[in-house]
Chain A
Amino acid sequence: SAVISQKPSRDICQRGTSLTIQCQVDSQVTMMFWYRQQPGQSLTLIATANQGSEATYESGFVIDKFPISRPNLTFSTLTVSNMSPEDSSIYLCSVEDPTTGELFFGEGSRLTVL
């Protein structure tokens, strides 16, 4: 299993600012995933982050808005840039067990944009 820590757990931000969310895993993993969960909705995959390469973004998400770093096999960051109230969501980091395909999730970062 993997234990994932996310920071911050929650934050309230002003429109137009940017926030960086950190994701730390207690073991080395190849693939890390960032999801968004808007209020009352299911999870939507933002991007896949592999160490040593550019993140792969899903349709509707772009690097300028959600830049991702993956400096090593245990850490990743997601930045939400130039925030608007529509970015108010829970952002979740996830990793995969390569043997079973099981996904492990962090507790999420709840972002409120005023």
Chain B
Amino acid sequence: DAKTTQPPSMDCAEGRAANLPCNHSTISGNEYVYWYRQIHSQGPQYIIHGLKNNETNEMASLIITEDRKSSTLILPHATLRDTAVYYCIACSQTSYDKVIFGPGTSLSVIP
């Protein structure tokens, strides 16, 4: 079973912030939270990752709760091209041989 749980689907209005939650209540101390997205018919694309501090890059922001049991991926100004399945993964930084992809969240950005 996946170590994370996410809502199966979400909608977001174009231009608004998309906030995608992820629960990882069993995350261990050396595990990071990674986010990927998969646009239809393409390979998954890395978005961002973090351990315990909030992170921001050109694509998104990652907010991790203080107890590390959940996190939120924020797309600050969603566009139609952000429509994709978003996967939240909890794993150690250099041990990808046991990465488990859950079903993810299907985000639909609506005009």
Contact = CB atoms under 8 A, between A and B. Distances in A.
A25 to B, nearest CB: 13
B68 interface: no
* Most B C-beta atoms less than 10 A away, residue of A35, A43, A56: A43
B34 A101 contact: yes
Contacts, number: 60
B99 interface: yes
B96 A43 contact: no
Given A31-B96, A31-B97, A42 B43 contact: no
* Most B C-beta atoms less than 10 A away, residue of A4, A104, A105: A105
Contacts of A101: 32, 34, 49, 91-96
A87 interface: no
Interface in A74-114: 92, 94, 96, 98, 100-108
Interface string B66-110: 000000000000000000010100011111111111111000000
A19 interface: no
Interface in B2-57: 32, 34, 36, 42-46, 49
Contacts of B94: 96, 98, 101
Using C-beta atoms within 8 Å of the partner chain, give the interface range for chain B.
Answer: 20 to 34
Nearest to B104: A42
Contacts of B103: 41-42
Interface of B: 32, 34, 36, 42-46, 49, 85, 87, 91-104
Given A42-B102, A102-B34, A108-B43, 8 more contacts: A33-B96, A35-B101, A42-B104, A45-B101, A94-B43, A101-B91, A101-B92, A105-B44
5 closest A-B pairs (Cβ-Cβ)? A105-B43, A101-B93, A43-B101, A48-B97, A42-B101
Interface of A: 4, 31, 33, 35, 41-45, 48, 56, 92, 94, 96, 98, 100-108
